[in-house]
Structure 1
Amino acid sequence: MTSKGRITLPKKLRDQLGLVPGARLAFSLLGDGSVVMRVKHRRLSSLAGILTRPDQPTISIDNMKR
């Protein structure tokens, strides 16, 4: 770790995770002291519609507001 708190991930790991410059990462500290790093590939807007089912009827925004 550098004096500024920066870390370097090995190239092989960056390639396996599909990391590119500017990639967003999230770090979580677990109760046992372990750290989990997650790559944040998606924006919240990319999740729109993931809970729909093929047989589910669609509802317009206007009907939702009512």
Structure 2
Amino acid sequence: MAQVVLTSKGQMTLPKDIRDDLEVGPGDRLEITKHGEGYLLSRRRSARELFAELPRYQGPALTVEEMDAAIGEEVRERNRPKG
């Protein structure tokens, strides 16, 4: 278990092995979440990392008109009366 010491300003330095494990460096942001009586420290992922996990469209290339038509169909479907 790693231990850290708080400075008079409430700052702490994460040990190198923890920084390496979290893959963080200067300027990176961390999230701290309360869990029961303790806290969970995790690396905050960037929008680019989150976007990279989204499934990629594998179909044929569509024209702008085809995309507009597909969006219109989806809007109508989502807004049709239930019942």
Any stretches of 5+ residues in structure 2 without a counterpart?
Answer: 1-5, 73-83
Superposition misfits of 4+ residues, deviation over 4 angstroms: 51-55
2:21 matched residue in structure 1: 16
More helix by share: 2
TM value normalised by structure 1: 0.64
Any stretches of 5+ residues in structure 1 without a counterpart?
Answer: none
- Cα RMSD after superposing both structures: 2.9
2:9 matched residue in structure 1: 4
Count of aligned positions? 61
Q: Which has the higher contact order (CA 8 A, sep 6+)?
A: 1
1:50 matched residue in structure 2: 54
TM value normalised by structure 2: 0.54
SS in 2 for 1:8: coil
- Name which one, 1 or 2, has greater alpha-carbon Rg: 2
